[in-house]
Amino acid sequence: MTKTGFLSRAARRLHLFCLFLALGSFVWGYNVGVLASVLVHPGFRETTNTEASKRGLITAIYYLGTFVSYVFVAHPAADRLGRRDAALVGMAVTCLGQAMQAGAVGSPSEALTMVVLGRIIAGMGTGIISTSVPLYQSEIAPPRQRGRFVVMNHIGFVAGLASGFWVGWAITFWNNARGLQVGWRYSLSFSFIPAFLFVAGLPFMHESPRWLVEHGQIEEAYNTLSFYREGYYNTDQVHAELIDIERSVAVFRVSGLTWTSLFTDKSLWARMWRSALLQFMAQMCGATAMKYYLPALFKALGLSHRVSLLAGGIESTLKIACNVVEMLIIDRVGRRLTLVIGAVIMVFALLINGILPQIYPHNVNRAADYTCVVFVFIYSLGYSMGFGPASWVYGSEIFPTALRARGLSFAASCGAIGSIIVAQVWPIGIAALGSKIYFFFMAINLVSVPVIYLFYPETKGRRLEDMDALFGDGRVERGDHGETENLLTDRSSFEYRDEDSERDSLAQLDPEPVRD
């Protein structure tokens, strides 16, 4: 066995670990995708007696659960339990909520209440998973490949989304009396399979080395960092990275900063509002509507119910390929450029979908309808190459270690607010305005382009401990990257052995992994 081959396999091992972590987001995506078919299933409608407004409630209430989790639960879980154990707890809570939905019984009002409560509980579990997993991935990834590894989280999400649509489509063939009555329950229950695999495998993973340092487990942190850096760094470089993490954590402890500093300190607020706005825009761009109401949207374009679900499955499957492309390019072209290009693509797609039904109303022109279907797919391309994965990558990397879980959770709560708004606005807007509702979301995407270009500094290739150079003071927006007041890195107060040697090693950190 050659050293080259060994190191290459070690690099692939890190990819495999991050893909396994994405199983958590797979369950999240599945629960989102399958609901689109559940909402229109005759057995579900009979059981819950749902009309349009109630379907909007069922969709939106999920994000009430995620909002509560992001604000009050997700960050304490990630900080106190660790990224790994928080993900375990989150999955258990998600499964409880999903079980309540699948087992909804009683009168229509009682069954609807069970579904709503189950959605809230599942949303709370998802809130924990959706923050702890990208935190975990970002904290074990080498800096130059961090974007790639965190995008794997979104690949898991869209794979789950696609699986949910395909299961919903397959259930339409179970059209005897039994299938029409309980098929939707089976659709919801299939999520327990990937959830079980996730829960069974996660205890064998190492905890995040940065969390271990924060909790004084230095030796275990070093062993963990060595395990995850094998094939990327040599021993000196692993030691140097550990020293830098220790220094960052130590300086933060004596800085006097707390979680409230995210809103009161200039440097931390610069990160907080950017991450929160990015999450909000990632939902207000129309993505929530596309995920939950895609079959209804295709039906409005003249496709049958079964073909609409089939088209939704194809669209979601193509998203996987788009996210793989994003995974390969995000560390090369950067976060900001992918966000801008993705938003421009969505603007164009929404413009076409808004205009053509106005010119050719009531499905009088099949070519126009099919063109709209194509541009729904193009919209998904833009989202999958921009807001979808990049908003989580950016938010998971810009905060200091001690505040990373809180910062990402608070930012994600703004995404939950955006999802609630869109989930309520879309069904009402499409009924009252028709395709003109697309112009509303188009305008949001259009405004986001200059906002991202002007106010979001590029983070690709930077170590997590070096983000202060971008957000140390307000001069970053003016392009002044000279000396700044570095809040968390007053390293002169701390002495370490062989400092020059460690700095030399740090300067060489993050080579490309060795290839076969």
Please state which of the ranges 20-24, 260-264, 423-427, 451-455 shows the lowest mean pLDDT: 423-427
CB atoms within 10 A of CB 412: 30
Over 70: is that where the pLDDT of 179 sits? yes
Q: What is the pLDDT of residue 6?
A: 43
The string of pLDDT tens digits covering residues 446-483 is 999 999 999 999 998 888 878 887 886 433 333 343 33
Neighbours of 221 (CB within 10 A): 23
Q: What is the pLDDT of residue 53?
A: 60
What the block records as the tokens of 262 is 């995210």
Instruction: Please give the share of the chain, as a percent, with pLDDT higher than 70.
Output: 87
Contact between residue 319 and residue 158 where contact means Cβ atoms under 8 Å apart: yes
Say which residues have a Cβ less than 8 Å from residue 447's Cβ, sequence separation at least 6.
none
Q: Which residue has the higher pLDDT, 62 or 484?
A: 62
Core vs surface per residue 323-349: b (16+ CB within 10 A) or e: beebbebbbeebbbbbbbebbbbbbeb
pLDDT tens for residues 378-403?
Answer: 998 899 888 988 898 999 899 987 88
pLDDT recorded at residue 9: 60
What value does the mean pLDDT take over residues 231-259? 84
Q: Any residues with CB less than 8 A from the CB of 453 and at least 6 apart, and which?
A: 336, 340
Q: 399-457 pLDDT, tens per residue?
A: 987 888 889 889 989 988 888 888 777 777 877 888 888 899 999 999 999 999 999 99
Q: CB neighbours (10 Å) of residue 107?
A: 11
51 has pLDDT over 80: no
- Report the alpha-carbon distance of residue 30 to residue 162 in Å, rounded: 7
Indicate if the pLDDT at residue 293 is higher than 80. Answer: no
Please, what is the average pLDDT of the chain?
Answer: 83
pLDDT of residue 326: 87
292 pLDDT higher than 80 = no
Portion of the chain with pLDDT greater than 90, in percent: 35
What pLDDT, on the 0 to 100 scale, is given for residue 291?
67
SS (H, E, C) 418-454: HHHHHHHHHHHHHHHHHHHHHHHHHHHHHHHHHHHHH
Has residue 149 got a pLDDT over 90? no
**CB distance 163 to 293 below 8 Å:** no
Instruction: Give the residue, 377 or 117, on which the prediction is more confident.
Output: 117
Instruction: Identify the three-state secondary structure at position 461.
Output: coil
What pLDDT was estimated at residue 431? 76
The arithmetic mean of pLDDT across residues 327-343, rounded, is 91
pTM: 0.78
Q: What is the mean pLDDT of residues 263-283?
A: 92
Q: Is residue 486 over pLDDT 70?
A: no
